[in-house]
Structure 1
């Protein structure tokens, strides 16, 4: 049976991705960027009819990861995948220019919003396809936490919604003990709180919510300060003030610079596309997600990356689930990098870093503010060792919150920047997504700042300091002036075996649902929802297509996604599943 293609299926261009790419390339300031055409598709190599941001989020895992805390797939109320695709496109263009500088024949670049979405859930994809169990919530916390509230912020007695960060158990205990929380709740809550960055869930004992709900925010701030933890109010305004610049390049003094080191031609492996950064060497000293992801991007573009880890290796290597002897999440960000162990608290460890940098083009770190200077490894120190070095700092806040800012982590940045308000609709209280949105954006933006620094070095011959932050990355996501309001079909309804994303026409004109679900269902969302639960997602998608409407099964199982042949050109699966490099250089 053949049916005509409905007008709603004609895909508009991924406007957000193009706008983000154009904005970033304008900041690069290199006229050569205009000579590298970049095509941004919706689906790319993913063999699915992806024609919008919501369709990409549904099919490629974003709705599943973001919705874990609520217990059901839920869209982000912003164009997140499109923003990631825009950064990837800008990276591809800059990398192509750098490749051309060494004679590589790169005519054009291609990426897609679908590949961007897969890249953004890379660590979750790895964890879902490795050994072990992702459910880190202790049974007692799971029993006590109600199932219908999803992720909700802490709220003080005087009504202030806030986000908490405590990077170790001692600070966690100190904070809650000062608020009088019961000891059993502290021990039950620590592990899910600590693991929320990795699992995108955080089921906490209700006793903790009661403890903060009994204290005014001033007392909560005092308790946090005394314990060494950090709290920040969650902003209601999705715009949240004037955004910081995406990155800042600072040319270093001529006295410490020279002609950029020559890059040797590196033959490409048979059957591979051009690796535009081949011949470049990056030294990174990073941890968690933001910094390692920046190094990962540069490695995928062809650079050799040497990772400096403490004696005994990065503790994150042992974080379950495992892919072989190493954490799957850690491998998703660090496979393919060389490793050198060095204790930076010692003179010998710092000499090791200087020796590595002496043969490098880039030094990348995401240390706390002031640490590079205290170690004698700041931009001026290292550019004296290696003329022409690009010294990149991937920070939390940059200079936006002064000399002693709160710890710069994903959820605090979401809370302060307005992103926590923008990602949720107006009928829900603002709360950070437990998917690490700004860590991913921050890592990508740091890599883009490095590429901009390398291009500036090519033009000027001067070493560059390239500073970016999670806060500046969060500001890249386009926001409405007011929080969005959702209709009854914006959250995918349940089916017999999963969930179904309804296309724009069906959501905007629910009366058309009657063509598939019956006239009574078109008039009553509850009746329609009940009827959808009687069939499978794929069966309903086929019936909607016969009626000329778009519907798409939601990817609710990342392990099944990785094994789906429709994703085989974008995802590789061996010891764990990982997205392939999201650029094509043609």
Structure 2
């Protein structure tokens, strides 16, 4: 059988035309992704609050979408104010102990991907016999989705398992080189630090906050560990990592990433098999009210965030999602804090899914999984590189039992970076210059401890699966889909990489998106008003008085959400946060169809 790596790429939007207008922050990535999927079109510019997209040439009339920052009545007018209101600044700022804005347009990037998801879902629904909807995607909902795990934990029945306090990587060598450390094993953590003569009490105290940093966005481990790495040259630190099984990654700059950037799409779609699938598509028509993917089945074998989030979104679009869990169930179900005995964070990504326990190490269970895939529409996983092939569960193996399957792999690197480290969120941030991009000029680069790439990578994984399903609707043939955290990093840093490639300063100016303190909280000016607002000392004023003072001078700002549990009652986001059947906070669907 021909390798999927050598088969032609698929462009499911070939022969479609699009028009895009609106603020470039919200629309540029939409246009780029539509072009990468084969559509032809133009960008016409437009206003600064909302954008419009239309896809035409495939069926009765166009499929349209609107992208916007938020409800006009909310006062949220741009990236800065959306980050402030939705809790993104609060979560990203936990490392420092105060809210900080991301110096990249994170919610705008996520909104663009969500808009393309909606357009693809609309085309799939139309191909399956439902009406053409109009899609709306808003940055405030994208921001809430990005913090959904942290929000769920803030509203749980019990407190966090570890302290929420300032601190975290990266570490610094004796030469002043910044690097990230990664390991998923406590034994490797201990051996690494012992090899560097770290105090025993410090390495013991450091493991738990290090382990939970994905969940808490901070890692208040002992300062002694930072002192240890500053006392050793990088070659010795590398040896300690090699001997222990831990991995390190030196932080790279945006200029370095721009020099090696190959301009590849954030995902790839190729035929699952070189043999045409006999007959037509497997999908079944579904009523509009059930969602464009109603009647389809997704098998998800995912861990942590990236793949589970991708499958969660497919479920919100109407698909039945069945999680493949190890014997005894997913151990993350018990990760504290809990709501009604189930991990609040786990519920944020997995509520509504069914589950089947399968031991993929057992031959009989692997046969059972292949039998399930024979009746499914999508198989999605994020196993370690090479694991699927070792187990006989790779795309070629599933193509034998279901040549009409969409086989999706959400990875760290997509095989695009030679000698890449472990493909986890923070390591990919370090390797791709994200650690520099998220902080303005003059600040020490540091990957955000908010799981930026896991979330954006999950969004792009959903986008790629939808593109694969649309291709299958048109041809009846199965599709191999690959997406990655690397692709998410390149989407997020795209504007900075283009500045770097042109010899311009890739980083934002000093002080960019720094909230301003008030007597009882923080406010965030819009990007347009930030320079003028920074000239006022607001520390003696209440937050409401400070906002009024700026408004009198024609400046736009909003209150920074510092306690995520208050989002339930935030007037800027009315009705946006609800409770699920377990009592866990739940954010709204990221798109709406009308």
Alpha-carbon spacing, 1:489–1:235, altered in 2? closer, same or farther (3 Å):
closer
Alpha-carbon spacing, 1:431–1:260, altered in 2? closer, same or farther (3 Å):
farther
Equivalent in the alignment of 2:239: 222
Equivalent in the alignment of 1:436: 451
Equivalent in the alignment of 2:394: 378
Q: Could you tell me which runs of 5 or more consecutive residues in structure 2 were left unpaired when the two chains were aligned.
A: 1-20, 41-53, 57-61
From 83, 105, 121, the equivalent of 2:147 is 121
Alpha-carbon spacing, 1:509–1:533, altered in 2? closer, same or farther (3 Å):
closer
Contact 2:142–2:590 (CA under 8 A) maintained in structure 1: yes
Equivalent in the alignment of 1:18: 27
Contact 1:244–1:471 (CA under 8 A) maintained in structure 2: no
Q: How many residues align?
A: 543
Equivalent in the alignment of 2:586: 578
C-alpha distance in 1, partners of 2:268/2:371? 26
The 5-angstrom pairing of residues 355-370 of structure 1 reads: 355-370=371-386
Q: In the alignment, does 2:332 pair up with 1:332?
A: no
C-alpha distance in 1, partners of 2:349/2:366? 24
Q: In the alignment, does 2:200 pair up with 1:183?
A: yes
Alpha-carbon spacing, 1:491–1:151, altered in 2? closer, same or farther (3 Å):
farther
Between 248-257 and 322-331, the greater mean CA deviation after superposition: 248-257
Contact 1:33–1:94 (CA under 8 A) maintained in structure 2: no
Q: In the alignment, does 2:470 pair up with 1:455?
A: yes
Alpha-carbon spacing, 1:26–1:483, altered in 2? closer, same or farther (3 Å):
closer
CA deviations over 1:365-400 (Å, ceiling 9, x no partner) = 000111111111111110111121010000001112
Equivalent in the alignment of 1:97: 123
- Report the alpha carbon displacement of residue 486 of structure 1 after superposing the two structures with TM: 3.7
Q: In the alignment, does 2:579 pair up with 1:559?
A: no
C-alpha distance in 1, partners of 2:472/2:557? 49
Q: In the alignment, does 2:420 pair up with 1:420?
A: no
- Report the alpha carbon displacement of residue 489 of structure 1 after superposing the two structures with TM: 7.3
C-alpha distance in 2, partners of 1:361/1:417? 33
Local SS of the residue matching 2:364: helix
Contact 1:137–1:191 (CA under 8 A) maintained in structure 2: no
C-alpha distance in 1, partners of 2:246/2:280? 43
Contact 1:410–1:470 (CA under 8 A) maintained in structure 2: yes
CA deviations over 1:150-190 (Å, ceiling 9, x no partner) = 55521111221100001110111111111111110011000
Local SS of the residue matching 1:51: coil
- Report the alpha carbon displacement of residue 122 of structure 1 after superposing the two structures with TM: 1.0
Equivalent in the alignment of 1:287: 303
Local SS of the residue matching 1:105: coil
Between 388-397 and 542-551, the greater mean CA deviation after superposition: 542-551
Contact 1:154–1:209 (CA under 8 A) maintained in structure 2: yes
Q: In the alignment, does 2:490 pair up with 1:475?
A: yes
TM-score of the pair, normalised by structure 1? 0.88
Alpha-carbon spacing, 1:47–1:132, altered in 2? closer, same or farther (3 Å):
farther
The 5-angstrom pairing of residues 69-468 of structure 1 reads: 69-134=95-160, 136-137=162-163, 151=168, 153-237=170-254, 240=257, 241-242=260-261, 243-255=263-275, 257-267=277-287, 273=289, 275-402=291-418, 405-468=420-483
Alpha-carbon spacing, 1:425–1:152, altered in 2? closer, same or farther (3 Å):
farther
TM-score of the pair, normalised by structure 2? 0.87
C-alpha distance in 2, partners of 1:65/1:342? 35
- Report the alpha carbon displacement of residue 20 of structure 1 after superposing the two structures with TM: 1.0
C-alpha distance in 2, partners of 1:196/1:557? 18
- Report the alpha carbon displacement of residue 274 of structure 1 after superposing the two structures with TM: 5.4
Q: In the alignment, does 2:554 pair up with 1:548?
A: yes
C-alpha distance in 1, partners of 2:566/2:256? 37
CA deviations over 1:511-557 (Å, ceiling 9, x no partner) = xx7xxxxxxxx4xxxxx43xx22222122212322332212111111
Equivalent in the alignment of 2:521: 498
C-alpha distance in 1, partners of 2:304/2:362? 22
Local SS of the residue matching 1:77: coil
Between 437-446 and 217-226, the greater mean CA deviation after superposition: 217-226
Contact 2:191–2:244 (CA under 8 A) maintained in structure 1: yes
Between 164-173 and 349-358, the greater mean CA deviation after superposition: 349-358
Alpha-carbon spacing, 1:152–1:263, altered in 2? closer, same or farther (3 Å):
closer
C-alpha distance in 1, partners of 2:490/2:526? 28
From 528, 532, 541, the equivalent of 1:535 is 541
Equivalent in the alignment of 1:518: none
- Report the alpha carbon displacement of residue 38 of structure 1 after superposing the two structures with TM: 1.0
- Report the alpha carbon displacement of residue 450 of structure 1 after superposing the two structures with TM: 0.6
- Report the alpha carbon displacement of residue 204 of structure 1 after superposing the two structures with TM: 1.6
Alpha-carbon spacing, 1:209–1:265, altered in 2? closer, same or farther (3 Å):
same
Alpha-carbon spacing, 1:493–1:509, altered in 2? closer, same or farther (3 Å):
closer
Equivalent in the alignment of 1:39: 66
- Report the alpha carbon displacement of residue 570 of structure 1 after superposing the two structures with TM: 2.6
Contact 2:172–2:178 (CA under 8 A) maintained in structure 1: yes
C-alpha distance in 2, partners of 1:579/1:495? 29
Contact 1:492–1:499 (CA under 8 A) maintained in structure 2: yes
Local SS of the residue matching 2:158: coil
C-alpha distance in 2, partners of 1:151/1:187? 15
C-alpha distance in 2, partners of 1:375/1:472? 26
Equivalent in the alignment of 2:574: 568
Local SS of the residue matching 1:253: coil
- Report the alpha carbon displacement of residue 30 of structure 1 after superposing the two structures with TM: 5.7
Local SS of the residue matching 1:567: coil
C-alpha distance in 2, partners of 1:381/1:576? 39
Alpha-carbon spacing, 1:381–1:85, altered in 2? closer, same or farther (3 Å):
same
- Report the alpha carbon displacement of residue 121 of structure 1 after superposing the two structures with TM: 1.0
